[in-house]
Structure 1
Amino acid sequence: MSSIQAVIWDFGGVISSSPFEAFARFEAERGLPANFLRTVNATNPHDNAWARLERSEFDHHAFDAAFAQESRALGHEVRGRDVLPLLSGQIRPEMVEALRRIGQRLKTGCITNNFTAMGASPMGSLYKGEIMALFHHVIESAKTGLRKPDPRIYLMMTEALGVEPAACVFLDDLGINLKPARELGMRTIKVGEARPALLELQTLVGFPLLD
């Protein structure tokens, strides 16, 4: 019998598709170097414009200007307002179904680095709200003022779910966010394509997640 009592998910890049594909298209259209946007985001990652937006320290106007300044320092100016629309990925139905199945047997949580929504379509927001309602507990960086990979945000989740880190699996698409979870004792899964990640998760929880 599995010792896992809770599964904790990231949202973007896990429940929904990764924004990195949209980043790549944007870079190609603008004639930017490959992975330029990710390079901007990875520079001073804990205190850059992106991090401060996700902790609600910046509004969208401040983010727009700060991201432009940071990208310009790396050789190509990109306005923050042009990057934000690239983040809305497509929901992965197989991940949602796995979440439903797990929620019937185990505790579930979502830790998402996000920012105050703007310009979301009502239908998309409604569907996302329905998915968020499947989790037993949700922690949003924009509301807490903490963001991954700060270890405190993972401990907030385990405390809310009433489980020890060693009894949890954590799924994220970024290695930088998986490292602190692993150091706290969680099992971790780096998500790329949905199916391989779900096969790995299925093995850890000990019951079927895929048809």
Structure 2
Amino acid sequence: MTPFDAILCDLDGVLRHFDHTLQADIEARYGLPLRQIAFDPALILPATLGHITETQWVESIVAALGGDERAGAAAAEFAAVPFRVDEEVRDLLAKAQERMPLVLVTNAMDTLEGHLDQLGLTYFADAVVSSARVGVAKPDRRIYEIAAELAGAAPERCLFVDDRLENVTAARELGMTGVHYRGVEDLAAALG
């Protein structure tokens, strides 16, 4: 018997990675605190809960940076930073998916479906739970419950993988086996 009936996996920081070096370069070139402003919960949470679009999130960054042309250019570049799939993670998840369902659980914006298509991941997982579509974000317990239900598994039979410890802790509080992802070896060890 396998130790899990489903894998619930984060997207960003596990399967998808943004070019953080380029983000830092853009921030340095403009001399603006782009990452601090962009990821301020007051600005990003409405976008990840689906209350505003990604475009409106970028506009809120521009406004927080002063609203001038320079702020607009910096925010536009920052929002357009490329991302890629970690092929090792993809391969591990695909192999595990031969035995059990895979559900991506992500705090995302309204552009997620387009991004998944761009990455060739549209039909990769058995289901995708996007915070912008369900109106709750990790670490709210409801998003984990939605994911487990879509996977057809009891929470205590789910493996949850995320790069943010607070999200893993919330999953563990529901009885899930949680893996704090720091590298592909963490996922490989959990999947055996």
Rate the CA distance shift 1:22–1:12 in 2: closer, same or farther, 3 A. farther
- Counterparts in 2 of 1:72-151, with a 5 A limit? 78-79=71-72, 80-86=75-81, 88-117=82-111, 126=117, 128=119, 130-151=120-141
Corresponding residue for 1:209?
A: none
Distance in 2 between residues matched to 1:21 and 1:147, nearest whole Å: 26
Please report how far the alpha carbon of residue 154 of structure 1 lies from its aligned counterpart in structure 2 after TM superposition: 0.7
Please report how far the alpha carbon of residue 70 of structure 1 lies from its aligned counterpart in structure 2 after TM superposition: 4.1
Q: Which amino acid letter does the alignment assign opposite residue 37 of structure 2?
A: V
Q: Which amino acid letter does the alignment assign opposite residue 11 of structure 1?
A: L
2:8 alignment partner, SS class: strand
**Are 1:169 and 2:159 counterparts?**
yes
Distance in 1 between residues matched to 2:22 and 2:178, nearest whole Å: 26
Please report how far the alpha carbon of residue 110 of structure 1 lies from its aligned counterpart in structure 2 after TM superposition: 0.3
Please report how far the alpha carbon of residue 108 of structure 1 lies from its aligned counterpart in structure 2 after TM superposition: 0.9
1:163 alignment partner, SS class: coil
CA contact (8 A) 1:50 1:67 kept: no
Instruction: List alignment gaps of at least 5 residues for structure 2.
Output: none
**Are 1:187 and 2:187 counterparts?**
no
Distance in 1 between residues matched to 2:36 and 2:136, nearest whole Å: 22
Instruction: List alignment gaps of at least 5 residues for structure 1.
Output: 207-211
2:144 alignment partner, SS class: helix
* TM-score scaled by length of structure 1: 0.74
Corresponding residue for 1:15?
A: 15
Distance in 2 between residues matched to 1:201 and 1:59, nearest whole Å: 32
Please report how far the alpha carbon of residue 42 of structure 1 lies from its aligned counterpart in structure 2 after TM superposition: 5.4
Rate the CA distance shift 1:14–1:61 in 2: closer, same or farther, 3 A. closer
Rate the CA distance shift 1:66–1:160 in 2: closer, same or farther, 3 A. same
**Are 1:39 and 2:29 counterparts?**
no
Rate the CA distance shift 1:82–1:133 in 2: closer, same or farther, 3 A. same
Percent sequence identity over matched residues? 24
2:46 alignment partner, SS class: helix
Please report how far the alpha carbon of residue 175 of structure 1 lies from its aligned counterpart in structure 2 after TM superposition: 2.4
Distance in 2 between residues matched to 1:60 and 1:131, nearest whole Å: 20
Please report how far the alpha carbon of residue 31 of structure 1 lies from its aligned counterpart in structure 2 after TM superposition: 3.0
Aligned length: 186
Rate the CA distance shift 1:62–1:42 in 2: closer, same or farther, 3 A. closer
Q: Which moved more, 1:145-154 or 1:12-21?
A: 12-21
Deviations 1:60-111 (A, max 9, x none): 4532332234456xxxx9554443212x411111111112101101121101
Distance in 1 between residues matched to 2:163 and 2:71, nearest whole Å: 24
Q: Of 157, 160, 176, which aligns to 2:150?
A: 160
Deviations 1:19-71 (A, max 9, x none): 53333222232234xxx44433554x2xx221111222113453233223445
Distance in 2 between residues matched to 1:205 and 1:152, nearest whole Å: 25
CA contact (8 A) 2:179 2:190 kept: no
Please report how far the alpha carbon of residue 125 of structure 1 lies from its aligned counterpart in structure 2 after TM superposition: 5.5
